[in-house]
Structure 1
Amino acid sequence: MLVSDIVRRNAQFFGDQDAVVVPGGPTRTWSELDARTNAFANALLGLGLRKGDRLAIFAPNCGEYIEFFFACAKSGVVGAATNIRLAAQEIASYLAYVEPAAVLVHADLADQARAWLPEVPTARHVIGIGKGHGFDLDLERLIGSASRDEPPVTVEETDVYQLGATSGTTGIPKGAMMTHRNAVAAMLNWLAEMPVPESGTALQCIPFFFNPGGPAGLHPVMMKGGRTVIHPGFAPGTFLRAVAEHRVTNTVLVPTMLQMILAEPDRERFDLSSLTGINTGGSPLSAALLRSGRELVGDIFYPLYGMAESYSCAAVLRPEDQFTDGSEQQVRQLASVGKPMTLTLLRVVDPNGDDVPHDGTTGGEIWLAGDTVSREYFRMPDETAHSRSGEWFKTGDVAVVDEEGFVTIVDRLKDMIITGGINVFCIEVERTLMLHPGVEQAAVIGMPHPTWGEAIHAVVRRAVGSEVSEEELIEFAAARLAHYKKPRSVEFVDALPISGTGKVLKRELRDARRTS
């Protein structure tokens, strides 16, 4: 099955039903979406793009993003969604690596794009989206003048469909080459793990340029004839209104988004009963956050662990394994990523490539395999070779596995601190600091030390009203951790640098402090 088969099939069986809803903008039925994406694909071919060429998009969430995904699938052109939050030089560097033949630019970001477009000489065409973009080519005019027949291109399930940009937490993002097989397998994986009704409604809260916005940016709701509701950005009030108005069944949230929703004073007045499944990711849900979330919408949370290279698929903590109260072992499971998803193979291995014992203490690297996993990085043979071992993708995440098979991430290999020759997992220290009621958020990094190699430094955002001190937090951690694991220094900040998927950007923390 191909990604393009989704829109073709739905046009046959759900033709008059809504496929894409943009409040204040156009609504497209499945029949309209099928015809428009045929025309979009033919327009790309008419501009001289060919199968395998790259098409970048620089836009906020919008209805045209869905059309971009399906047009790529039908034309054989490889999509490259671009992170609009990056600085101009970062975008130029990524696109210089991707070498797009054309770039789609939204009118709202046209001025920003003009700052880096001259640095992308391979882009023969710039196509504007929306009114007032000022570029010579306009997407709507191209679609309106192109044939709505099926594009004359043969596409196979092993063909590359999108470049999934990695998070770029350690440098310029890498482009994971994602095939149609990867994309369809990922959607089936999600469908196997969460309730998705026929003709349901997905609310797009995560930016489309992040893979957790849904496999290939297309939520599995669409595979069953459902629709996607798209707002340009996330706001908690907008979320609550949209769920009630559109009877949303499924969505994706990172924990910080859920916190914002729960902080809305009038959240209880909205009818949220239509929700059947909320995927979360980026970081585990705390017991307090899960408890409050359940009080608002019910027991419908599905915390997922994955990455661009695996199409957001790897592990899931299923509802029956989520305990906010119970034995110490049960409550501890909330900090885990759960167990492998239905269509994913997962191992935790030592440096020799052998599986670690399931004792809850022996750390190893998570390796993944299966149809959702990318086969390689775009034009990076060395990076590909370093990150693969046969069929297995080496994630760089360090985890332990307990006696019941629950996998808990304890660090990134690149973030692990070596102090006095001993490995310290940052996450263990962070979770300990988070137990203090005066701590809202904590990130731990290693700082150069003349004697120990690295010293443990904590960067902390206090809870509202808290005046907890550095000395108090160090003593708090020392009472709960081995002496060598306690922070040697604590720094308080108003905010931590966070990616769109809710991850703390530790590279930024390290770089800022090691150069200051």
Structure 2
Amino acid sequence: MFFADQFQELQRSQPDHIAITFEGQDTSYNELMEHSWQVANGLLGLGIERQDRIAHLAKNSTEFFEIFIGASASAFATAGVNWRLAGPEILQILNSTENSTLFVGKDFYPIIEAIESDLKFIKNIIAIDGDHDHWLDYKTWRDQQSNQRPDVSLEGDDDILQLYTSGTTGLPKGVQLTNQGYVNAFNAFVDNDILGVDANAHFINVMPQFLVGGINLTIVPLLRGARINLM
């Protein structure tokens, strides 16, 4: 059972349980997964290739989880980009990993606009917060898609996440995490009761979603059916 399969089981077993609370808005497991399946179908509709990198440049939001889970369900890998970097550094990351699609939050529209003409591989830019002249509006694009899980064969060695080193001794380097890697990590957390969370737990996250801690220390509680209070 891979990453997307575990979330599908949570959608079935506790659909009305709150998965994420962010800025006063609650999202149930069923809502989270319907939106994630919509993202998965939307990405497949863009015609990009299996295992393409889907870049995410935005501050914390519920939409990140929709993008991450949806991308994994359609055999793409989410690449979290450090929004503390300057434009040229972001350009280097996006070009070096040949990302085909970029999801960008409104705080970073000006940065991407400034480097857009130099992006070598980006075919699609999706504005998470909408309100952009020529990029796809995230919610409009998402809500046009089917909310049923797409029929995509997944493999254990499929990359589902790519994060980047700090670049203190050179340029940032991509580090991949696979479907099977997530299964192994999740089982280790559960078997050793590392976080001590279950479906009744509330877990607060303040770390940005381009950090391994900001992602994995929220994904593990979610996979346990807990509630994330996202800051």
TM-score between the two structures when normalised by the length of structure 1: 0.43
Partner of 1:11: 11
- Match of 2:66, SS? helix
Partner of 1:151: 150
Partner of 2:104: 105
Q: Distance in 1 between matches of 2:27 and 2:87?
A: 33
Partner of 2:198: 197
Deviation readout 1:196-245 (Å, 9 max, x if unpaired):
13231221111110112142x643111111121222xxxxxxxxxxxxxx
Q: Distance in 1 between matches of 2:131 and 2:46?
A: 22
**Corresponding position: 1:72 with 2:71:** yes
Partner of 1:229: 229
Change (3 A) 1:149 1:85: same
Q: Distance in 1 between matches of 2:134 and 2:63?
A: 17
Q: Distance in 2 between matches of 1:155 and 1:14?
A: 24
| TM-superposed deviation, 1:155 | 0.7
| TM-superposed deviation, 1:6 | 2.4
Alignment of 1:173-188 (within 5 A): 173-188=172-187
Deviation readout 1:237-285 (Å, 9 max, x if unpaired):
xxxxxxxxxxxxxxxxxxxxxxxxxxxxxxxxxxxxxxxxxxxxxxxxx
Deviation readout 1:164-196 (Å, 9 max, x if unpaired):
212222122111121011122223333322311
Alignment of 1:300-319 (within 5 A): none
Q: Distance in 1 between matches of 2:204 and 2:112?
A: 27
- Match of 1:60, SS? coil
Alignment of 1:17-416 (within 5 A): 17-24=17-24, 26-191=25-190, 192=192, 193-215=194-216, 218-231=218-231
**Contact 2:60–2:209 (Cα < 8 Å) also in 1:** yes
Q: Distance in 2 between matches of 1:114 and 1:80?
A: 19
Note the residue ranges of structure 1 that are not aligned, 5 or more in a row. 232-516
Q: Distance in 2 between matches of 1:189 and 1:211?
A: 16
**Contact 1:56–1:81 (Cα < 8 Å) also in 2:** yes
Deviation readout 1:386-405 (Å, 9 max, x if unpaired):
xxxxxxxxxxxxxxxxxxxx
Q: Distance in 2 between matches of 1:154 and 1:8?
A: 15
- Match of 1:126, SS? strand
- Greater shift, 157-166 or 202-211, is seen at 157-166
| TM-superposed deviation, 1:34 | 1.2
Q: Give me the identity figure in percent.
A: 28
Q: Distance in 2 between matches of 1:171 and 1:143?
A: 37
Q: Distance in 1 between matches of 2:111 and 2:53?
A: 21
| TM-superposed deviation, 1:163 | 1.1
After the TM superposition, list the runs of 4 or more consecutive aligned residues in structure 1 that deviate by more than 3 angstroms: none
- Match of 2:15, SS? coil
**Contact 2:199–2:227 (Cα < 8 Å) also in 1:** no
Change (3 A) 1:181 1:218: farther
| TM-superposed deviation, 1:10 | 0.6
Q: Distance in 1 between matches of 2:174 and 2:118?
A: 19
Q: Distance in 2 between matches of 1:14 and 1:48?
A: 33
Q: Distance in 2 between matches of 1:198 and 1:38?
A: 22
The AA in structure 2 aligned to 1:62 is: S
| TM-superposed deviation, 1:108 | 2.2
| TM-superposed deviation, 1:136 | 2.7
| TM-superposed deviation, 1:27 | 2.2
**Contact 1:199–1:221 (Cα < 8 Å) also in 2:** no
The AA in structure 2 aligned to 1:229 is: N
Bigger radius of gyration among the two = 1
Higher RCO (CA-CA < 8 Å; seq separation 6+): 2
- Match of 2:60, SS? coil
**Contact 2:103–2:128 (Cα < 8 Å) also in 1:** yes
Aligned residues: 229
**Contact 1:202–1:219 (Cα < 8 Å) also in 2:** no
Q: Distance in 2 between matches of 1:135 and 1:199?
A: 43
**Contact 2:43–2:71 (Cα < 8 Å) also in 1:** no
Change (3 A) 1:184 1:140: same
TM-score between the two structures when normalised by the length of structure 2: 0.93
- Match of 1:50, SS? coil
Alignment of 1:363-512 (within 5 A): none
- Match of 1:80, SS? strand
Q: Distance in 2 between matches of 1:118 and 1:190?
A: 43
Q: Distance in 1 between matches of 2:188 and 2:132?
A: 39
Q: Distance in 2 between matches of 1:199 and 1:66?
A: 20
**Contact 1:108–1:133 (Cα < 8 Å) also in 2:** no
**Contact 2:130–2:136 (Cα < 8 Å) also in 1:** no
Deviation readout 1:302-354 (Å, 9 max, x if unpaired):
xxxxxxxxxxxxxxxxxxxxxxxxxxxxxxxxxxxxxxxxxxxxxxxxxxxxx
Change (3 A) 1:167 1:187: farther
